[in-house]
Structure 1
């Protein structure tokens, strides 16, 4: 008896969830299909029923992670200018305590941005663009005159900060992240200074 469309979609979602968690924590090159399918508690045959190659899975997993990451979610905080921006920056920079169920791919995958496989680079670029667009939308609502440039500058600062902080030991790491958070929030707020 063939599987139902609902069963097939459920299987695909399990693979994407497992792949997103692993890719977001380790990057493309360090994750194997065996690890992904073990995490999903499935066989390799299930993988090939949905994806043609690891790079195709990476692309789909990054779209999945992007759409489920904390910064992609709509919430009630979007009405409070400073509260929402501060929460967004704080949450992003607290990667060591980040959402384990739905991590943000940009937090960890700096090396994938310049990967040798075109699909991997394109998937990373799509994640980057999604975060920039989400933040630009928030900044536009707050009256920023140059929301796109400010959003891009902010995302670059966030990604770079996390990439550097990951190499530091405690307490240097915590101090570095606190200083970066203050600097980034102040820059964002200065870009919103024209808002009444």
Structure 2
């Protein structure tokens, strides 16, 4: 029996997480069986349980990793209001709409995460709050808590807008929804706290 180095196991695990992230965002949690997820990673079903206790464990890990990736993506934008506006415009773009497997896990999986077990919901909550806190810190570096709720509202608006835009068969209407979503997010962003 061949024993693999610890690094090999970690690389393989990461390959499964990345392949599963793309597949889950494209086909959904319920539409992606373990066999398909493992095939995408170039592995057999038998290898799955060497890395994850269950599909739910994999889903929770994927959600956490995808949102960690979203936090890294945020660092590509300049700090402050202008950077957040650029992020909103990029998020609510036709390119993001058309490539769900490369995009935001919230917009792609939110409806299914609501039906997941509590550990997955808890992982999602912790991870999405970290994203929100990162955005809030960009808006108000000296008092991020002052804009946390507003930031959460903008994030929810963006995810919901993207979900609706993806669901529409009418391409022009979908484009219009994205443009209106940008205007709505910027209106909330620029609204003074009341």
Tell me the equivalent position of 2:136: 136
Say if 1:157 and 1:184, in contact at 8 Å, map to a contact too: yes
Tell me the equivalent position of 1:170: 171
Distance 1:41 1:191, change over 3 A: farther
**Which residues in structure 2 correspond to 1:1-196 (within 5 Å)?**
1-69=2-70, 71-73=71-73, 75=75, 77-79=77-79, 81-94=80-93, 95-98=96-99, 101=102, 103-141=103-141, 146-168=146-168, 169-191=170-192
Cα separation, 1, equivalents of 2:172 and 2:29? 29
Q: Give TM-score scaled by structure 1 length.
A: 0.85
Say if 1:85 and 1:185, in contact at 8 Å, map to a contact too: no
Cα-to-partner distance string for 1:67-126 (whole Å, 9 max, x where unaligned)? 112x433536324x343111111122222245855x321121121242052233223323
Say if 1:150 and 1:191, in contact at 8 Å, map to a contact too: no
Distance 1:10 1:191, change over 3 A: farther
- 4+ runs of 1 displaced by more than 6 Å? 142-145
Gaps of at least 5 residues in structure 2 are none
Cα RMSD for the two superposed structures: 2.3
Gaps of at least 5 residues in structure 1 are none
Aligned length: 189
Greater shift in the superposed pair: 51-60 or 20-29: 20-29
Say if 2:23 and 2:32, in contact at 8 Å, map to a contact too: yes
Deviation at 1:58, TM superposition (A): 0.6
Distance 1:57 1:172, change over 3 A: same
